[in-house]
A and B are shown apart, each in its own frame.
Chain A
């Protein structure tokens, strides 16, 4: 799951606290995929995600002195990545109008049972959601924020957050259903054989 490092995670973090560039690089390599996964859940564009992830790691390196050793590093990193992503989304939202936000593309993929979805399938599903709905869905369902927190962070009301979550789920279900029916249709005709 993670690249193997010669030093333990605690030691790696300790060295990073001392400002050791080599160990900062090791830490980056070790947690890069995880951070990218978090970013990709929120953003469509991979280049944007890389930018967000790198900005997040810069924040990590600069503030790792305040990280307590008894803490778990991954949640701390995830929080930083999510916050950085939200900053990015807020910035992007200013430059988009509402129609852009609501105009979710209808994606096509070969849906299987949910248990067999891979990351690409899920990303296609998420890409089908408008920005706000996707963000609310990720924050609430995956990253554990409540609606008040989401409302505060996205500068929307808690009820609006609930509505967006509900719509996001509905759209995901629709997308799953649609693609499932397409899959079954094609499966019968032998497309996926």
Chain B
């Protein structure tokens, strides 16, 4: 009886609750939606993603702008030390071989001539190096007394270089050579012009100096600096994808330069070329910086870049006549406006998650800043002065057409129905010199892309 009641009750409970009816399903669903918001958050996610992308772009721009401002400020800060150096030059009569009167007379006009393409800062800094009349007189007197012939000066320089074995290569300047001081590459070129010096003696002196030129040039605190800017844009991975925004970090590389971490951002769009192929193009802003601690870049293009810096060519900026100048640091900073044209190959067209991409980048540079640090020595080898941050700025001066090869691959993951996110390692390989100074540099890094496609209704 007891068992029967139990069984009966259990069956009844099972039956009642198997057929249980509850009319509150609507309210229950509303409650559940408070806890289960994943589906609803898709539009929110979209807006958050877009906002994040915009922030990344703005942040990148701010970062680049801030760097430019800092560079300007650093130049201003460096003026006063150069003036101090000038005082040293004037006071140290015995150690300095000064230019003759003719050279001295041409020095000031030369600095005035240099207006084209040169910043006011560099004009100011160059003017501080004009030798005054008293020093010229002293120079003439010393020459008349035959204290030092140019050859002797070279020999003396060589001796001093021995004692300063870690100093960079040397440059001899003289305004009598079309008013352009010539600055040599480390352990490379040496140009001398002096009417009293024979060609053979110059060559001989050059040879000696080259032999004595230090190999490790990175220890000096004076350097020419150049700045730069590149970047890339990439493709996306969704079949119906219309638009992608991306941000990336990457390393700039160049022969002789330190590897520098930089950032860039931009957008791309895909054009369908077939089942597996997409044409990807867009626009990107990218900062590129290079630092050559061993003087100017050692590549052919870099040599040209060095010679092209007007501060050193026309303005005599910071360089003394008849002095030996060592370039201790050379920096380049370029903010690139990159226009990539790439072909994307979808490895599995249906999937759209994995792709290979290759193409070329063209573009110009919104700002290019090149700067250098240097140190001057007298032909006798005595330290005269040093300068920092001699700078040249260009804007939109060069357009590089298909000078960079882009290679990358990407892997995408869905974020929602209309968005996905792609990780895209890439390599940008330079096919030629880039920027107005023709520097050859590349970059490699990773882009993070947010891809948007059509809303499905």
Residue of B nearest to A121 (CB): B16
User: Cβ of A184 < 8 Å from any Cβ of B?
Assistant: no
Which residues in A have some Cβ–Cβ distance to B below 8 Å?
A: 1, 3, 19, 21, 24-25, 28-29, 32-34, 36-38, 40-41, 50-51, 53-55, 57-58, 61, 114-115, 117-119, 122, 126, 141-142, 169, 172-173, 176
Chain B residues with CB under 8 Å of A24's CB are 39
Residue of B nearest to A29 (CB): B25
User: Cβ of B69 < 8 Å from any Cβ of A?
Assistant: no
- Contact A169:B12 (CB < 8 A) given known A21-B39, A37-B18, A54-B32: no
A54 with B31: CB separation less than 8 A: yes
- Contact A115:B39 (CB < 8 A) given known A36-B22, A40-B17, A58-B32: no
User: Cβ of B457 < 8 Å from any Cβ of A?
Assistant: no
B25 with A28: CB separation less than 8 A: yes
A114 with B5: CB separation less than 8 A: yes
In whole angstroms, what is the CA distance A51 to B5 when docked?
33
B35 with A55: CB separation less than 8 A: yes
Residue of A nearest to B36 (CB): A58
A142 with B25: CB separation less than 8 A: no
B20 with A40: CB separation less than 8 A: yes
In whole angstroms, what is the CA distance A128 to B13 when docked?
15
B6 with A169: CB separation less than 8 A: yes
List 7 tightest A-B contacts by C-beta distance, closest first.
Answer: A37-B20, A37-B17, A32-B25, A21-B39, A54-B32, A33-B22, A36-B22
A119 with B16: CB separation less than 8 A: yes
In whole angstroms, what is the CA distance A118 to B93 when docked?
117
User: Cβ of B9 < 8 Å from any Cβ of A?
Assistant: yes
B10 with A142: CB separation less than 8 A: yes
In whole angstroms, what is the CA distance A54 to B36 when docked?
9
B31 with A50: CB separation less than 8 A: yes
In B1-50, which residues have CB < 8 Å from any A CB?
2, 5-6, 8-10, 12-14, 16-22, 24-26, 28-29, 31-32, 35-36, 39-40
- Contact A173:B22 (CB < 8 A) given known A19-B39, A122-B13, A142-B13: no
**A130 CB to nearest chain B CB (Å):** 17
Interface residues on B, range: 20 to 34
- Contact A114:B35 (CB < 8 A) given known A28-B25, A32-B22, A37-B20: no
Which residues in B have some Cβ–Cβ distance to A below 8 Å?
A: 2, 5-6, 8-10, 12-14, 16-22, 24-26, 28-29, 31-32, 35-36, 39-40
A173 with B2: CB separation less than 8 A: yes
Residue of B nearest to A116 (CB): B12
Q: Which of B5, B25, B31 contacts A33 (CB 8 A)?
A: B25
Chain A residues with CB under 8 Å of B17's CB are 37-38, 40-41, 119, 122, 142
Chain B residues with CB under 8 Å of A40's CB are 17, 20
A176 with B13: CB separation less than 8 A: no
A114 with B8: CB separation less than 8 A: yes
Chain A residues with CB under 8 Å of B9's CB are 114, 117, 172, 176
- Contact A176:B25 (CB < 8 A) given known A41-B13, A141-B13, A142-B13: no
Chain A residues with CB under 8 Å of B25's CB are 3, 28-29, 32-33
**B255 CB to nearest chain A CB (Å):** 52
Q: Which of A37, A38, A53, A55 has the most CB of B within 10 A?
A: A37
A173 with B5: CB separation less than 8 A: yes
A28 with B28: CB separation less than 8 A: yes
**A62 CB to nearest chain B CB (Å):** 9
19 new A-B pairs (CB below 8 Å) besides A32-B22, A34-B20, A142-B14?
A1-B21, A24-B39, A28-B25, A29-B25, A36-B20, A36-B22, A37-B19, A37-B22, A40-B20, A54-B28, A54-B32, A57-B36, A114-B8, A114-B12, A118-B16, A119-B20, A141-B13, A173-B5, A173-B6
In whole angstroms, what is the CA distance A50 to B24 when docked?
10
Cβ contacts A to B, 12 pairs, < 8 Å: A28-B25, A28-B29, A28-B32, A32-B29, A33-B21, A37-B18, A37-B20, A50-B28, A54-B28, A54-B31, A141-B6, A176-B9
